[in-house]
Amino acid sequence: MEEPMPRQDPLPPEAILDNWFQFPWTKGVQVDGMENIGKLRVRTRNSLYEITIIDGARGEILVRGGSFFPELTRALLAGATLGGCFCKLRGIYEGFRMEFNAKGQRMVTSPVESIGIYPQPCDLV
């Protein structure tokens, strides 16, 4: 008797190549468009990450958080992914996973739930 196949989550619409290119990319940041030494706080489903941008154009960062980075670690941010072969280079977006390269290994986080940019601009009244 065959065992039933495990239930898989349906693919999000962004996982289809045509939709990927048309996706609005509004709930996130591109580190290659941020100032060097900018800071981010990224909450994923399972962890909190602190990221300092060293060279945004190259994706060079310092990162601490989660089980991958218990201490401040130099890494490359590959970008936002759904865990497959598509990657929004140098991006961090809600609902997507962050992909890092550090210590000769590829690491993929759980999905991003929120992104904070620090310091936050203050409103002058």
- Tell me the per-residue pLDDT of 104-118, one tens digit each, with 9 for 90 and over: 999 999 999 999 998
Domain boundaries of the chain, sorted by first residue: 26-118
Question: Is 106 in contact with 100 (CB distance < 8 Å)?
Answer: yes
pLDDT at 26: 83
The pTM (predicted TM-score) of the whole model is 0.79
Each residue of 3-39: pLDDT tens digit? 555 555 555 655 555 555 666 678 999 999 999 999 9
* Average pLDDT, rounded, for the chain: 84
| Average confidence (pLDDT) over 32-54 | 95
* Biggest distance spanned by C-alpha atoms of the chain: 71
Parallel, antiparallel or unpaired: strands 60-65 and 39-44? unpaired
DSSP H stretches of helix in the chain: 17-22
pLDDT at 125: 46
Residue 102 pairs in a beta bridge with: 105
44: left (phi over 0), alpha (psi -120 to 50) or beta: beta
